[in-house]
Amino acid sequence: MKRSILLLAGCGLLAGMTHAQWEVPTSVVLDGADPAQRQVTGLSAPTGEANGANLDADRYRTTSFGVAEGDGALTLHLTPSLQAYVPGLRLTISPQTVNQGDVTLDVDGLGPVPVRKYLTLPLDSGDLVPGIPVDLIYDGAVFQVNNQLYPACPPGMTAIGREACIELTTNEAANWYAAGTRCVNRGLRLCSFSEWMTGCLNDPSFITTVSDYEWVDDAANLYNSAKTMGISNITSLIDCRGGGHRDPLGQAPYRCCSSR
């Protein structure tokens, strides 16, 4: 195997330093008296697939890790750019948003490739969570997820982060006690204040399903009242951050939540 040695030639008459490479058809042994001399230094970040990678690029995986932009049709850009999809290719992506269902990944404009879990299954809504890295391996046809994903949300629900799911639509009006009981009977729970507000703020379509105050399972900060969300008690307008209180025996719609 050929080895290349970088030669540096300095001259007092020259303003700078000249560089050259020397290919040698044998092993190169670094045997300097000082251990600090037994290494190759000065490597910059790789810009091409044939370039050597320095420790910094290897440590931070700049050649195989990046933020995946988009929701269902993800895009990823690497440095250096990927030239082809090759079986065995390993990548790690950091999702930018929660996915709403099936996912494809396009790396450096090479074309979208399906992302699958458990060999053949498409991703469920909420499988990808912002800031939680996902390891992928290209098998020649699809990108296989190589690490544990959070369980999918039940039908009719969407993920609100990695810990909980919330219903996409409201349930028929009931009193606060009945709302909680009905959720439990379905194996769910009445959403808390923070879960309801997170769901409303994270999903633009959520607010379009709000038409009245909705029960939540949190303190109302008022004697003999239950907490409600969805309407501003100042402007009387629909508001993800607005809320109030009602007699718990009154009627109001509600949503159920579940843990993932």
DSSP, residue by residue, 13-49? TSSSEEEEEEEESS------SSGGGSS--------ST
pLDDT at 17: 52
Q: Which amino acid is at 229?
A: M
Half-sphere exposure of residue 224, counting CA atoms within 13 Å on the CB side? 3
What backbone phi and psi angles, to 5 degrees, belong to 107? -100, 120
Query: From first to last of its 260 residues, what are the pLDDT tens digits of the chain?
Result: 444 455 444 444 344 455 546 577 788 788 888 888 787 777 777 877 777 777 777 777 778 999 999 989 999 999 889 999 999 999 999 999 888 889 999 999 999 999 999 889 999 877 888 888 999 999 999 999 998 777 778 889 988 877 899 999 999 999 999 999 999 999 999 999 999 999 999 888 899 999 999 999 998 888 889 999 999 988 889 999 999 999 999 999 999 999 98
Q: How far apart are CA 236 and CA 227, in angstroms?
A: 16
Full-model pTM: 0.51
- Plot region of 230 (φ>0 → left; ψ -120 to 50 → alpha; else → beta): left
Tell how strand 65-68 and strand 90-95 pair up.
parallel
50 burial (CB, 10 Å; 0-12 / 13-18 / 19+) is exposed
Q: How far apart are CA 21 and CA 112, in angstroms?
A: 40
256 burial (CB, 10 Å; 0-12 / 13-18 / 19+) is buried
Alpha-carbon dihedral 110, 113, 117, 120, rounded to 10 degrees: -140
Q: How far apart are CA 143 and CA 156, in angstroms?
A: 27
- The full set of domains in the chain, from first to last, is 65-145 (no CATH), 157-259 (3.10.100.10)
